[in-house]
Amino acid sequence: MKFQQHLVTLISGLLFGLGLGYAQMIDPEKVIGFLDLFGAWDPTLAFVMGGAVAVTLVTFRFILKRPYPILGGKFYVPTRQDIDRPLILGAALFGIGWGIGGYCPGPAITALVLGSLNPVLFLVAMVVGSLAYKALGDRTPPVAPAPENRPS
């Protein structure tokens, strides 16, 4: 069971990287070209996101009707519905960094295979930024005893 799960994880990762390659999202210029609405707009990213969501919209409906995943265990799916400040502000900060560097996390990782320094610098800074927020977040005292299974 465990081995099968790891095999699925590996294949899934492989398809993800392959997809980002074909989609040319590992080329920051394609991403910035999409975000540049007032320049020579490049709609490729819309096709990538559209293609991916077209698949998940259909498949997730069927998958999440199941009581548990095919290889057992349970579904680790976020349950929160509230739209709070950290969600909107965090996403906006992410969007600013995305527009500056042309990388989001997936493409930056996959672009490591290109052998240039930029994805490395980006990823090191990304991990530092993430740990910085975690450290800040951990400093604020919890209002109530934290619920045990907070969705990740």
Partner 1 sequence: MVMDWWYGLLGGGLIGLSATLLLAFNGRIAGISGMVNGAITFARAESWRWIFLVGMLGGGALYEYGLAPSPTPTYGLTPVTMVIAGLLVGFGTRMGNGCTSGHGVCGLGRLSVRSLAAVISFMVAGFVTVFITRHVLGL
> Which positions from 68 through 127 interact with partner 1, judged by CB under 8 A?
68-71, 73-78, 80-83, 86-106, 108-114, 116-118, 121-127
Residues 3-22 contacting partner 1, CB under 8 A? 4-6, 8-22
Residue with Cβ nearer partner 1 (138 or 141): 138
149 touching partner 1, by CB under 8 A: no
Question: In angstroms, how far is CA 88 from the centroid of its own chain?
Answer: 16
Q: Which of 13, 21, 9, 48 is nearest to 107 (CA)?
A: 21
Q: How far is the CB of 1 from partner 1 (least distance, A)?
A: 11
28 touching partner 1, by CB under 8 A: yes
Report the C-alpha dihedral over residues 142, 147, 151, 152, rounded to 10 degrees.
50
Residue with tokens 């619920």: 147
